[in-house]
Chains A and B, each alone.
Chain A
Amino acid sequence: MTRPPVVELIDVTRSFPGPPEVQALKAINLRVESGDYLSIVGPSGSGKSTMLNLLGLLDRPSVGEYYLDGASTGALDEEQRAALRGGKIGFVFQAFHLMPHRTVLDNVLLATLYSGVPRAERETRARAAIDRVGLSHRVDFVPGTLSGGERQRVAVARAVVGSPELLLADEPTGNLDATTSGEVMDLFEELNADGLSLVIITHDRAVAERAERSIRITDGRLQELS
Chain B
Amino acid sequence: MKLSLPRFGRKAKLAELAEAANADSAVESGWGAPPTMLRADRFSLQDLLVEASFGIGAKPSRLIMTTLGTVLGIASLVVTVGFAQTAAGQIANQFDAVAATQVVVEPATAQGNGGERATGVLPWDSPERVERLAGVERAGLVAEVDVQDRAVTSVPVNDPSAPAVLSPAVVATTAELLAAVRGDIVTGRYFDAGHDLRGDRVAVLGERAADELGINRVDSQPSIFIGETSYTVIGIINGVERRSDLLDSVILPMGTARTDFGVGAPAELQVQIAVGAGSVVARQVPIALSPNSPENFDVTAPSTKSSLRDNIQADINVVFLILGGIALLAGGLGIANVTMLSVMERVGEIGLRRALGATRKDIARQFMIESVVIGLLGGLIGSALGVFAVVIVSLIQGWTPILDPWLAIGSALLGAVVGLAAGAFPARRASNIEPITALRGS
Q: What is A's interface to B at a CB cutoff of 8 Å?
A: 1, 3-4, 49, 52-53, 56, 58-59, 68-71, 76, 78-80, 82-87, 89, 91, 93-95, 97, 99, 101-102, 106, 110-111, 113-119, 121-122, 125, 132, 158, 160, 162-163, 165, 170, 191, 194-196
Residues of B within 8 A of A102 (CB): 54
How near does chain A come to B365, taking the closest CB pair, in angstroms? Answer: 12
Report the nearest B residue to A1, measured CB to CB: B24
Count residues of chain B with CB under 8 A from any CB of chain A: 50
When A and B form their complex, which 9 residue pairs have the shortest distance between CB atoms, in order from nearest? A86-B357, A116-B39, A114-B357, A163-B33, A116-B42, A71-B21, A82-B359, A97-B352, A91-B355
Whose C-beta in chain B lies nearest to the C-beta of A91?
Answer: B355
> Is B34 an interface residue when CB atoms closer than 8 A count as contact?
yes
Are A165 and B25 neighbours in the complex by a CB distance under 8 Å? yes
> Known: A69-B25, A97-B352, A195-B30. Is A114-B43 also a contact (CB below 8 A)?
yes
Which chain B residues lie closer than 8 Å to A110 at the CB level?
352-353, 356
25 residue pairs of the A-B complex, CB under 8 angstroms, read A1-B24, A3-B27, A49-B436, A59-B436, A71-B20, A76-B17, A79-B359, A80-B13, A83-B14, A86-B356, A87-B36, A87-B357, A91-B439, A97-B352, A99-B54, A101-B58, A113-B356, A116-B37, A121-B34, A160-B30, A163-B29, A163-B33, A163-B36, A165-B29, A195-B31
- Residue B184 interfacial (CB < 8 Å): no
**Known contacts A79-B361, A84-B17, A85-B356, then 16 further A-B pairs from the complex at CB < 8 Å, ordered by chain A residue:** A1-B24, A1-B27, A52-B436, A58-B436, A69-B25, A71-B17, A87-B36, A89-B355, A95-B439, A97-B439, A99-B54, A114-B357, A114-B362, A115-B356, A121-B34, A162-B357
User: Judging by beta carbons under 8 Å apart, are B43 and A113 in contact?
Assistant: yes
- Does B144 make an interface contact (CB < 8 A)? no
Partner of B358, one of A82, A94, A99: A82
> Is B206 in the interface zone, CB < 8 Å from A?
no
Cα A23 to Cα B71 with chains together (Å): 53
CB of B10 within 8 Å of the partner chain: yes
A140 to chain B, nearest CB (A): 16
- Cα of A125 to Cα of B47 in the assembled complex, Å: 17
